[in-house]
Amino acid sequence: MSVETRIQDVLLLFGELHNAPYAPAAFATSFGAEDMVLTDLIAKHAPWMEIFTLDTGRLPEETYRLMQETRGHYRLPIQVYFPEHGTVERYVREHGPNAFYESQELRKTCCHMRKVEPLRRALRGKGAWVTGMRREQALSRQDLAVREWDAAHEMPKFNPLADWHGEEVWDYIRRFEVPYNRLHDQGYPSIGCAPCTRAVSPGGQDIRAGRWWWENPDTRECGLHVVDGKVIRAKSATPQKTPGQI
C-alpha cells in the first residue's frame, strides 16, 4: 500500500474524530517515530486536535530536545502532564530511585504513578484518544485494532497507524522531513524512560525488546493500554460503557 493511501486513511479517521461523539479527541505522544508521523499529520490537517505528552521525569535528554524542537517546528501547543510529586517522593523514599529493577510489582508501581495516573488526568473530559501504537511493535500488540474501546478509561481509542509497517513510518519521516528522536539512529526502535530503555541488536528482535528488557516479553507494557494485566483488545469504538461490535 502506498504512503499516499495510508495518509488518506488516517485523514478519513481524523474526519470522524472532529465530530460528535468523539470530539474533543486528544492525541497522546511520547515522541517516538510513529508519534512524530501523527504529529505531522495533525499539524497539517487537524490542528484542532489536542496533543499531550506525559513527562515522567525520567525521560532521555534526546526526548526533551525533540519535544522542544517539535514545539518550534510545528508551532502547536503541547500539553504536558507530570506525575504527582508527593507520590513520587514517597516511592523514592520507601524503595529508592531505581527500585523498578528489583521486581515487576515495583516496576508497575513506578509506571502507574509516572504514566497511568497522569494519563487519567489528561483524558478527563475527552471524547476519544489517539495513539501511535502499531501491531508490529510487540508480541502483546499483535491483535491491535484501528478502533478500540478502552475499558480502563471508558472511552474510544484510535490507533491510526495500527497496520502500518516500520518501513512506511520511516518512508513518511524521510519524505516529509519530519523531526525525530536521534536515539533511533543509535539502535533504539522504541524509547521510553531512560533507565528502562536500551538499544537492541538490528534484526530478529522484538521492536520493544529494549523496553523493560529484564522482564518477560509478554508482559512488557507500562499499564497505559492494560486492564487487569491484559492489553485492552475490545474492537468497538462506539461511545458506550460496554464494548460491542462495529
The residues annotated with a catalytic role in the active site are 222
Three-state SS for 129? strand
Number of H helices, E strands in the chain: 7, 8
Whole-angstrom distance, CA of residue 10 vs CA of residue 69: 24
Cis ω before 243 (30° cut-off from 0):
no
**C-beta of residue 160 within 8 angstroms of C-beta of residue 38:** yes
**Orientation of helix 3-17 relative to helix 166-175, angle to 10°:** 90
Phi-psi sector, 149: left (phi>0), alpha (psi -120 to 50), beta: beta
